[in-house]
A and B are shown apart, each in its own frame.
Chain A
Amino acid sequence: MSSRDDILGRVRARLNRTPENAAAGRASLEATLAERAQGPRPALPTQKSALTERLVEKSLGYSSSVDRIGSYAEAPAAVARYLAGLNLPPRAVVWPQLAHLDWAGAGLAVEARGARDRDLVGITGCFCAIAETGTLMLCGGPESPASVSLLPETHIALVPASRIVAGMEEAFALARAELGALPRAVNFISGPSRTGDIEQTIVLGAHGPYRVHLILIGDK
């Protein structure tokens, strides 16, 4: 007997599975999947501007930094400003879907591709941002490689204010509506990577970025 049949067989025996109760069980399973019931939700403001403030506040709480600009056209200059402030060279790897912005015009040398080990700065967009916890939702794909938010020491994310949602539930609903199936890699990111393993002392920059910088677009 295969291990699969052995394990499932023993589970079925323990649950007193019969053809009749299996049919009822499957019907209730499908009903659960179709219903997608939500659990209790913490109260959040419904106004767009209040959600944005909540996102900013929670992101700062997670050791991210936040800048606010009016439009995508201003993004390259905002990135250049941020990098200059940190004395970082004006070079970055960027999501291919953002390659069309005028990076060179702001004095930045960007390469549109997945990140490699020695890339210092990664620029990404986001699928949406979650106000409840100050979390970015990034969906991986050929135009939005997951490595760009992971390998470089500095991660800069362009976050359109129009894409701020209340909670993870709204983020998943948006993904279902716009993408259908989930892409291979959905990453929820809340601030720089960290560890507390040595004497419970929190250190930023474990394996992922040391810094996460949000550039909020379109609420100014």
Chain B
Amino acid sequence: MESRAHRFKQNAVDSLANPVLQASMKKAKGKFVDKRAIAIKEIDDFEATREAAKRIRNQVIENLDLWLEKFEQTATARGAKVLWAKDGAEICRLVVEIGKQHGVKKAVKSKSMLSEEAGLNLALAAAGIQPVETDLGEYILQINDNEPPSHIIAPVVHKSLDEVADLFHKTHHTPRKTDIPQLTREAREVLREHFLTAEMGISGGNFLIAETGSVALVTNEGNGRMVTTLPRVHVVVTGIEKVIPTLEDLATLMRLLPRSATGQSISNYVSVLTGTKAEGESDGPEHLYFILVDNGRAEVVGSEFQDMLRCIRCGACMNHCPVYQTIGGQAYGWVYPGPMGSVLTPLYTGLENALDLPHAATLCNQCGVVCPVKIPLPELLRKLREKQVERHLRPWFERLAFRLWAWVASRPALYGLGTRFAVRYLEWLADGKGSISRLGLAPEWTQGRNFPAPEGKTFRELYAQRGRNG
């Protein structure tokens, strides 16, 4: 997927001006948050469980090469083929090759963010293989001219029922309906045909289990089960950081992932899939491929951003982010939105291509507090900001402004004079109304809100006055 993260500011302005998106985001706001708050109470010691999950993930990343070799060995022993992809282009090349080799005309897909990173659907279509998204949300996006997702768990959280009704009416040539169960039934029937006729299933992988060479897939709709049960070829496309050691570790992580994501104690389906169809089995794929993808991950290993590789893609950080809640996910411009995306996009697509994302946060640490694997997201965002400064990537006027600020701030008398002038100017602007509705020097600041007016005196003046009054 081509990144539009460099247009973040304009994207955000557009999102704020989009009434349908704003209404949808308001409707969704709090739903995941409330459900999560209830679900985590079922865990007696949630903090200890988070700590355990952090340990499990760190343990693998600290010896990632060895765990990958182990997984490759156990998966291969069960008849899977393990392939490696450096980037999105290589994912596309490998999947198309596999498809051609097995005479595939149609591929059904369970949600895979890696395939979004690669823009896999376009590559498949170009190679004459029809890709069909089967997660309801992803399907809605696909039939809307391959619209990008706005959330990693709820891809169409920004869309209204009316929009979905129009899309189904237009695409399926059926009478327009606005009943959600009926729309879901319609999608089920359309997609069932695809499940039954596709030769290849493509899925992501929530976890790769080194002990057994298995992939764990977590879904509610059952589409993950469909794409891995019916077609004769199954391709798992997933990141190299997804390995966990044992089935016990899966049990621990499954206490956190669904609760953090959708507020469920467990998702409806958790499938642990190992190897190919056994002798005498009536279902399951005859060929199983794992494509282990780097696409920027290897460079994060051993770096100051290594904590980010623990991420288990639950989406809790975006659900709790005041910025995400206001602008939705598409404004972030790439596959991953919200706080985790604001760290991942610069790391995976280049710091210089996503200059605004590390600043698209208030650093309120809601994301850090809810992260099930304790990724210090605000700290990582701050480090990315530092990197931008170190590499002189900030715009010239910002650099000049900070240099000026530093020059003034290191001269106490001048600083005192400057601030005395500034607060009096602002008080004059407020004109006794207590707030300022238009700031001439920073018009963007007052576009959607007022600037609170200062008292008219600086802290140092007030402090000196207090000193005199005892």
Contact = CB atoms under 8 A, between A and B. Distances in A.
Given A29-B67, A205-B184, A195 B136 contact: yes
A interface, by DSSP: helix, strand, loop or mixed?
A: loop
Contacts of B228: 185
B49 A25 contact: no
Nearest to B135: A197
Interface stretch (B277-285, B422-430, B432-440): B277-285
B14 to A, nearest CB: 22
Nearest to B303: A14
A184 B245 contact: no
Contact of B226 (A6, A15, A207): A207
A200 interface: yes
A11 B297 CA distance: 9
B195 interface: yes
B237 to A, nearest CB: 14
Interface in A130-164: 133, 135, 140-142, 145-147, 150
A113 B66 contact: no
B157 interface: yes
Contacts of A16: 302
Contact of B69 (A2, A8, A10, A43): A8
A32 B244 CA distance: 11
Interface stretch (A65-73, A78-86, A186-194): A186-194
Contact of A206 (B66, B67, B188, B271): B188
A58 B43 CA distance: 14
Chain B interface size range: 35 or more
Contact of A203 (B27, B184, B265): B184
Interface string B250-272: 11101100000010011111111
B157 A200 contact: yes
Contacts of A110: none
A182 interface: yes
Interface string B35-66: 00000001111001100110010010011111
B273 interface: yes
B211 A33 contact: yes
Given A190-B267, A191-B268, A39 B52 contact: yes
B118 interface: no
B323 interface: no
Interface residues of A, number: 72
A201 interface: yes
Given A190-B268, A200-B28, A145 B64 contact: no
Contacts of A14: 298-299, 301-303
A194 B214 contact: no
Contact of A141 (B156, B250, B278): B278
Nearest to A172: B247
Interface centre among B222, B270, B281, B284 (most CB of A within 10 A): B222
B53 A39 contact: yes
A142 B280 CA distance: 5
Interface stretch (B84-92, B391-399, B454-462): B84-92
Contacts of A11: 64-65, 68, 240, 298, 301
A191 to B, nearest CB: 6
Contact of A198 (B62, B161, B254, B282): B161
A199 B225 contact: no
A3 interface: yes
A135 B66 contact: no
Given A133-B266, A140-B283, A200-B28, A187 B271 contact: yes
Given A8-B68, A184-B276, A15 B301 contact: yes
Q: A-B pairs with the 3 shortest C-beta distances? A: A208-B222, A39-B252, A114-B282
Given A39-B53, A186-B271, 14 more contacts: A39-B251, A135-B266, A150-B222, A182-B272, A187-B225, A194-B221, A195-B136, A195-B221, A197-B135, A197-B137, A198-B136, A199-B180, A207-B222, A209-B222
Interface of B: 24, 27-28, 31-32, 42-45, 48-49, 52-53, 56, 59, 62-70, 78, 83-86, 90, 134-137, 140, 154-157, 159-161, 164, 180-181, 183-185, 188, 191-192, 195-196, 210-212, 214, 220-223, 225-226, 228-230, 240, 245-252, 254-255, 262, 265-284, 292, 294, 298-299, 301-303
7 contacts: A11-B301, A14-B298, A32-B246, A39-B248, A191-B268, A195-B137, A198-B180
